[in-house]
Amino acid sequence: MTFIPKAAIIAVIALSSAYMAEAQKIKTTEGSLSALKGQTEINVEYEYDHLKVGEFDKEEDYIQKKKDEYNKKEPGKGDTWETAWKNDRTTRYAPKFEQLFAENSGIKVGKFPQAKYTLIFKTTFIEPGFNVGVAHKNAYINGEIWVVETADHSKVIAKSTVDKAPGRLFAIDFDSGVRIGEAYAATGKVYGKQVKKEVE
């Protein structure tokens, strides 16, 4: 097993984060984020309805294929993978997005049901990518971010599109959850900066 110094890993993560932030596009398509001026907390919800994954139009078809493949190699491995795939939403994706958004916007985002506004992150597509050492494909996500009034979700303040937000940690992203998690981190960073710019 090759030992990788901690300092090297930190440098890799920093380089990766900078690359991801520059590579994606987030565009406000409706309304204005200026309504968030003065807010210190924003409630957040995540939606994965009608999610497409890779070449599959339905997430459940992707899950079934991967689960069958892993179970053929080792009984039970596919079931373990399926659990991890679903749990990554709350253990990796949401924390990454929320942390980077807060750091770059100056506004906390999380489970704040009393907040005036709610941010709804609707993921519509995930490319898991892969890393097998000799070959690599970045992960990326597409989606929409809606800002609505918490008391009435039909009152939409702003809508933004997330286009090909890439996820990669150079040399150490062999797990799809790590790659995809970085896509959410990159989205949080870029969207957070966008919010800060519009509320200042």
Structure token digits, residue 51 = 């999610």
pLDDT score recorded for residue 24? 66
117-127 vs 52-53, strand pairing mode: parallel
Residues of the chain with pLDDT below 50 are 1-4, 7-22, 171-173
Are the beta carbons of 163 and 25 closer than 8 angstroms? yes
pLDDT score recorded for residue 175? 76
pLDDT score recorded for residue 138? 81
117-127 vs 139-149, strand pairing mode: antiparallel
pLDDT score recorded for residue 176? 81
pLDDT score recorded for residue 29? 96
Q: Which amino acid is at 6?
A: K
Q: Is the pTM of this model over 0.75?
A: yes
CATH architecture of 6-199: 3-Layer(aba) Sandwich (3.40)
pLDDT score recorded for residue 136? 67
Q: What is the enclosing helix (H) or strand (E) of 158?
A: strand 152-167
How many angstroms separate the CA atoms of 105 and 64, rounded? 38
Question: Domain ranges in the chain?
Answer: 6-199
